[in-house]
Amino acid sequence: MLAASLTFTHSAIASSAEQPKIKDVTGLAEADLEADEYYFEPAFLRGTPGQKLRLEIENESSTLHSFTVPEQKLDMDIPPKKKVAVEVIFPPSGVVRFFCRFHSELGMDGELLAGDAKPQALRSPK
C-alpha cells in the first residue's frame, strides 16, 4: 500500500511540475515582467483576444536583454538593472511568442496566450 501511495504521489508531483506557470492578466491594463539570467518571469501571460497590455519589464541581471515580438514589430533593448515599458496586444486567437534576441537559444522565451489557448513548446535551453 505504501509503495502504491508513493508512486501516486510521485506521479502527481511530476504531472504538476510539467504544467507551465501562466499568469492571468485578463482585464488588466498593466503588468510587470521580469527579465533575468536567461528567462522571463512569468513566461506565459493569458489575456483576452485583442487585449492591450502595458508591460513594465525589469532587467534584474547584469546582462543586456531584449523584448522582441516580431509579429507586433516590437524589439526593445532592456539595459542591465533598468526598466522599460512596452505595449503588447494579445492575438485574436492562439499564441504570440516573445523572446530575447540575444538569448533565445538559451531558452529566454515566452508567450502571450489569447483566451483558452494552450502554451506551445518553447525552445529548450541548449
* DSSP letters for 99-122: E-TTTGGGT-EEEEEETTPPPPPP
pLDDT at 20: 74
Q: What is the mean pLDDT of the chain?
A: 87
Reported pTM:
0.81
**CATH class entry, domain 21-114:** mainly beta
Please determine, for residue 125, whether its predicted confidence score (pLDDT) is greater than 50: no
Each residue of 4-33: pLDDT tens digit? 444 444 334 444 445 678 999 999 999 999
Each residue of 32-62: pLDDT tens digit? 999 999 999 999 999 999 999 999 999 999 9
